Structure 1
Amino acid sequence: MELYPINLKLAGRRAAVIGGGGVAERKATSLLAAGAEVSVFSPELTPGLSALHEAGRLVWVPRAYQSGDLHKFFLVFCATNQADINRQAAVEARAAGALVNIADAPELSDFYVPAHIAQGDLLITVSTGGGSPALARRLKEDIAARYGPEYGQYLALIAKLRPEMKSRLATAKERESFWRETIDHEALYLLKEGKFSEAEERIRHAACCTGPES
């Protein structure tokens, strides 16, 4: 089945995690990092989840999931070690309009959470459609070794200079050509070496040579 790739903005959105173990902790942590409002349903929590609750980062409902709990949630992650509970919660959540991920049954989930590499605002994801998490992890490791922090730094530098470049380069064609040619190994090497000002100057110089004044 072909999947539709999408990156969700979760700031202020409500997400429920059913379960309090290691899988639930990983789900909750990533949801919080994306700005979601997280509620965890479980009689017990891992130390990590307990620390997040004590810090006021998430809501803890200290009991097992019950019917009627899952209204008004945008995302629901079913991550207990009991398959029947996961499926019962998934059915109810889906009926209430939520998107559902079932940790032990990806084939029954509405979506998969891909392996991902984040370097600043640069986000690279790898998905096997739930077919092989091990392969996804291996590919993630290979990609992470290839695209280091300098790529995130480069992206931040581009975002900083974009308004200036837009004023220098009058047409969309000029701007497209400039950005394509500017992504070179030299600028990335400078960033990797910590030479941020030199990398910025290289991009500015390229703009001067490309723009109408050249």
Structure 2
Amino acid sequence: MQAFPIFLSLQGRRALIVGGGDAAARKAELVLKAGGQISLIAETVGGEVAQFIAEGHVSWAGRSFDESDLEGMSLVIVASEDESIQARVSAAAQRRCVPVNVVDRPALSSFIMPAIIDRSPITIAVSTGGTAPALARRIRAEIERTLPAALGRLARFAEMFREQVRRTLVVPRARRRFWDRVFEGRVGELALAGDEIGARRELIRLLDGFRSEVPSVGMVHLVGAGPGDPDLLTLKAHRLLQRADVLVYDRLVSDEILSMARRDAERVYVGKKRANHCVPQEEINDRLVALARAGKSVVRLKGGDPFVFGRGGEEVEALVKAGVAVEVVPGVTAALGCASSAGIPLTHRDHAQACVLVTGHLKNGTVDLDWKMLSRPRQTVVIYMGTGALPQIASQLISHGLPASTPVALIENGTTDRERRIVGTLATIDRQAQRAFLTGPTLCMVGAVVGLAMSREQEFNFESRMGL
């Protein structure tokens, strides 16, 4: 985050605008809407600015800027095209620690004017940090299309009942659930439609129902966080993140996905990595049960899919045994995400009629797998957590009948902007992996489809991520 987003109250405060053209008029209109009192410095003024002055909304001094003009100002906007004036006003304002924005000159500004969506009292601001204002405007337009024009009416309606709801529902989680029901249900529909009487009646009925509700045990949602790219998170997973009281997550869940959760949600890290389980599975199970029994809505975030080498089945069994409600939300497992990202088809009519997913964990120095089954022709083998056992895996597959020339791909940090691919054969892949110093989560794919995809890399334009 390049800048800290804040909303500044200008009600009754003084703001200085330097410049008298169209840009000054646009900024003056925004400041006036926020309740600010404007002093404007410009030797000449254009039509819209002149109208503001004539209507008494703006105090104008028809001269050049002087540093004394900053006295008592809460905000300064420089809308002059004269670069010397821009630099002089910016320097003077920053010496006095007065926030200053120079239009289209982020380097001279201490704050950036965002693209604004106004549904007063709801205000949404979009900023690109001054790097691409046109992109910010496009994002604003996309958001505008999704928001009801009467959204401000709904906010004002909710404000009327905020204190009553706070007194009636003293438990924060109950209040959050109540407001979710208000905004997503019939109350919100009526308020947006302008039927305040009907909305009031429905809200009181809903509040009475919540008041008489017996406190219940919470619920645990086992949510697949996908292979890494936050855009691959399901809509349901995103919705649950927004409502969770607690997030229980491991190291395969990215910061980008965690940032989608409610800001005030409790975060419990139970990170696991190969050969280092910092929190035993039994303790994780106990924590989930305890959190749910405390009445909390718990999201157990797991990389990939909870039921594909995620020990989700064990957690479901523990929760059901403890009498805790549990829901499983699928995610894109690493095999599917990495295959798509790398352009490797897991099945192919001419090369692979089957796909096998296995885990390559070492146990007592060996990997206990059905090597005869894995060495069958015309199939793709995907090995999770197998980088530490690559020598054994390659040796066993070769000794059980797969040619040493069988193509192999290692995909590290798949689907993210840190993705790396190492492509070789069963005979070479271990040496290549050692040279590459793989440290992130890595998937191993074995089969003819790997060679097929790599021979088409020019067509797919995947070579920018290749690590040969």
TM-score, length-normalised on structure 2? 0.43
Instruction: Note the 1:120-131 alignment, pairs <5 A.
Output: 120-131=120-131
Which stretch has the larger CA shift, 159-168 or 121-130? 159-168
Match of 1:26? 26
Letter in 2 for 1:71: E
3-state SS of paired residue (2:208): helix
Match of 1:83? 83
Q: In the aligned structure 2, how far is the partner of 1:91 from the partner of 1:123?
A: 30
Q: In the aligned structure 2, how far is the partner of 1:19 from the partner of 1:38?
A: 12
Q: How far off its partner does 1:105 sit?
A: 1.0
* Alignment RMSD (CA, Å): 2.0
Match of 1:96? 96
Instruction: Note the 1:138-157 alignment, pairs <5 A.
Output: 138-157=138-157
The answer (yes or no) to whether the contact 2:12–2:36 under 8 Å persists in 1 is: yes
Q: In the aligned structure 2, how far is the partner of 1:193 from the partner of 1:16?
A: 40
Q: How far off its partner does 1:151 sit?
A: 1.8
Which stretch has the larger CA shift, 61-70 or 13-22? 61-70
Q: How far off its partner does 1:185 sit?
A: 4.8
Identical aligned residues as a percent? 29
Q: How far off its partner does 1:99 sit?
A: 1.1
Letter in 2 for 1:76: V
Letter in 2 for 1:50: A
Match of 1:195? 195
The answer (yes or no) to whether the contact 2:39–2:59 under 8 Å persists in 1 is: yes
Structure number with greater Rg is 2
Extract structure 1 runs of 4+ deviating beyond 6 A: none
The answer (yes or no) to whether the contact 1:53–1:60 under 8 Å persists in 2 is: yes
The answer (yes or no) to whether the contact 1:14–1:75 under 8 Å persists in 2 is: yes
Letter in 2 for 1:55: E
Q: In the aligned structure 2, how far is the partner of 1:180 from the partner of 1:173?
A: 11
The answer (yes or no) to whether the contact 1:100–1:110 under 8 Å persists in 2 is: yes
The answer (yes or no) to whether the contact 2:157–2:191 under 8 Å persists in 1 is: no
Alignment of 1:173 onto 2:170: no
| Count of residues paired in the alignment | 214
The answer (yes or no) to whether the contact 1:78–1:102 under 8 Å persists in 2 is: yes
Q: How far off its partner does 1:199 sit?
A: 2.6
Match of 2:46? 46
TM-score, length-normalised on structure 1? 0.90
The answer (yes or no) to whether the contact 1:169–1:212 under 8 Å persists in 2 is: no
* Pair 138,185 (structure 1): closer, same or farther in 2 beyond 3 Å: farther
3-state SS of paired residue (1:40): strand
Q: How far off its partner does 1:157 sit?
A: 1.0
3-state SS of paired residue (1:123): strand
Q: In the aligned structure 2, how far is the partner of 1:68 from the partner of 1:121?
A: 35
Going by fraction, where is strand more abundant, 1 or 2?
2
Q: How far off its partner does 1:69 sit?
A: 2.9
Match of 1:57? 57
Going by fraction, where is helix more abundant, 1 or 2?
1
The answer (yes or no) to whether the contact 1:39–1:60 under 8 Å persists in 2 is: yes
Letter in 1 for 2:74: F
Q: How far off its partner does 1:27 sit?
A: 1.1
Match of 2:385? none
Which stretch has the larger CA shift, 120-129 or 170-179? 170-179
Match of 1:207? 207
